[in-house]
Structure 1
Amino acid sequence: MALNLDLKKNNPLLSKVVQQLDLIKNNLLLSKVVRHVALSKNLIFIAGAGISCSGGIPDFKSSNGLFEMINQKYPGSFHSVRDLFDANLHISDNAVKAFYNFMGELNKLVLETEPIATHLFIKKLADMKKLKRVYTQNIDNLEEKAGLEVWNFEKLKRYESQVVQLHGTLANLQCQLCTNVYSFTQKSCDIFIKGEIPNCPKCERRVVLYGDEHPNELEIGEIAKYDKKKADCLLIMGTSLRIPEVKHLIKEFAKAVHKRKSYVIMVNDTNVVNKEWSRIIDYQIVATCDDWVNLVDNELSNNKPQISKKRKRTKNDNQGRNEIVYQEKKIKVPSLNNKSSIKNKIK
């Protein structure tokens, strides 16, 4: 993708056109955007399936993906991936079996998958106190595997969480009758793959489908309202920008970020931005999420170690005044290149 440099004094906020950048070309504008992300202190991420694809979890819509496999096994049950995730269409026995089979096969992959570069990068930003929040559409729970704190809507205080799961998680099963929560284990996967339901008669997935009302919609809205007060950069990664609720969330955060003269950046391996996103998304990076985060990580690693100053009150000096001194403390920045050390930290 060629780089369009018609930036009206290099300020995307004055342009009606989303600027597209190519990672292959090492240009000054790309470096400026990368450095802007690296210097941000309250980053907001909105993540989609694209951040997990390189880890082995396939796109649902690909020709060799899980949906095609389920479609061949249960022909005619669903016409599209959206139909599969539409609660209103789970009316026939065949459709219900197909859905449970799909969820079992998907969770089998999830259990075998480890966090990849993008998940580890987000964890690194959290460790550096640069992450405000991750709003993820993914149900693979890889953010928690990477060591991030996921808001479970019950125990963790909402503003202390680092990850908000917009569509639920495959980590647990919940009985809709007795409300007990169980781990979605390999044994449960085997039962689901058969198109059957585990022993608890009403035991179902903790995944929000099309047609479902999110049980914590109001709480998520409160968290987003809280985050908008400090958000200084919005990164949208690996999503097709099609789900209405997610689009609304992006637009609300974009308003807050632009008020601070900051950037909204879209990262996806294909061009998904249309005219609807003019004046909302400033830059579109057409690249894999892993390639992009490696670029930003290099910028972080090339910077000098951060210095935090501690204010300490000492004993009275000779004139009886309180002398205030600052103690400098170096903060080590981990590198994504040392994957073994990072994995050890998150086990």
Structure 2
Amino acid sequence: MLIDSISSSENIVAFTGAGVSTESGIPDFRSSEGIFQMDGEGFPPEVILSRTFFDQYPEKFFEFYKKFMVYRDVKPNRCHIALAKLEEAGKIRAVVTQNIDNLHTEAGSKNVVELHGNANKNYCMKCNKKYGAEYVLNSPSVPKCDSCNGTVRPDVVLYEEMLDEEKLYRAKWYIRDADMVIVIGTSLVVYPAAKLIKYFEGDKLVIINMTDTPFDSTAMLQIRQKAGYVMWKVAEALT
């Protein structure tokens, strides 16, 4: 049914979350082995990853961030590659992702909306000079700009910060205009990103996730299997 539905669609949006990248070795957030279970030296991870904590305790923020949020040796898995192949074949119009790992782009997807930013990108808060991930990872403590000595921060959305309005607009437009939306590897509980699914006006909503989501009752199809296996089979059949 999934392959037939994709085959008959021409304007598909993939909406992806952490479950897409677990097969690459990146932990998700809410499972028993997820980010929210990591040791934050007495602070919950969702507190450490907030703007307030970043401003008040930058040393502790970067210690946690560099240890648990940036993965330099990971590679795209079968799901990332399959989505890129489907885009090349003219099926996937855009990937809207909650992930910050850059793996969709590394796999070859061209039209990616990174709602929560990109951990490979960093910038000086004072002069806006751009830096890659290695600069932050190789800094002994809080990374400082080599031009103005301002603090270099990740270009990601922290808790208490607003999503980028331009990215939100693009995501809404793609989803509203789609004839099919495939939700992959997300529990759809992180707002405001999750509510973007409400903008979909079609009847081809597919959810590929290992656990239940609040949108299951409105989905045409629910698949409780690993994203890499499912999407690779689709790409094999259609590309």
After TM superposition, the score normalised by the length of structure 2 is 0.88
Distance, in Å, in 2 between the alignment partners of 1:88 and 1:281 is: 37
AA matched with 1:197 = V
For the residue of structure 2 that corresponds to 1:244, the secondary structure is coil
AA matched with 1:178 = C
Q: How does 1:1-347 map to 2 (within 5 A)?
A: 32-71=1-40, 74=41, 76=42, 78-79=43-44, 81-90=45-54, 92-93=56-57, 96-106=58-68, 108-109=70-71, 111-149=72-110, 162-185=111-134, 187-191=135-139, 196-200=141-145, 201-214=150-163, 216-217=164-165, 219-228=166-175, 230-253=177-200, 255=201, 257-258=202-203, 263-270=204-211, 272-274=212-214, 277-278=216-217, 280-300=218-238, 333=239
Distance, in Å, in 2 between the alignment partners of 1:249 and 1:62 is: 23
Distance, in Å, in 2 between the alignment partners of 1:231 and 1:243 is: 22
Task: Report if aligned partners of 1:265, 1:283 keep a CA contact under 8 Å in 2.
Answer: yes
AA matched with 1:45 = A
Partner of residue 17, structure 1: none
Shift of 1:99: 2.1
Shift of 1:87: 1.7
Task: Report if aligned partners of 2:175, 2:181 keep a CA contact under 8 Å in 1.
Answer: no
Bigger Rg over Cα = 1
Structure 1 unmatched ranges of 5 or more: 1-31, 150-161, 301-332, 334-347
Q: Deviations over 1:3-38 (max 9, x none)?
A: xxxxxxxxxxxxxxxxxxxxxxxxxxxxx2332123
Question: How many residues of Structure 1 are paired with residues of Structure 2 in the alignment?
Answer: 235
For the residue of structure 2 that corresponds to 1:248, the secondary structure is helix
Which structure has more relative contact order (CA 8 Å, sep 6+)? It is 2
Task: Report if aligned partners of 2:216, 2:222 keep a CA contact under 8 Å in 1.
Answer: no
Structure 2 unmatched ranges of 5 or more: none
After TM superposition, the score normalised by the length of structure 1 is 0.62
Q: Deviations over 1:106-135 (max 9, x none)?
A: 4552x1011110110111011111111111
Shift of 1:68: 4.1
Shift of 1:178: 0.3
For the residue of structure 1 that corresponds to 2:66, the secondary structure is helix
Shift of 1:44: 0.4
For the residue of structure 2 that corresponds to 1:294, the secondary structure is helix
1:190/1:108 Cα in 2 relative to 1: closer, same or farther (>3 Å)? Answer: farther
Distance, in Å, in 2 between the alignment partners of 1:89 and 1:228 is: 33
Identity of aligned residues (%): 30
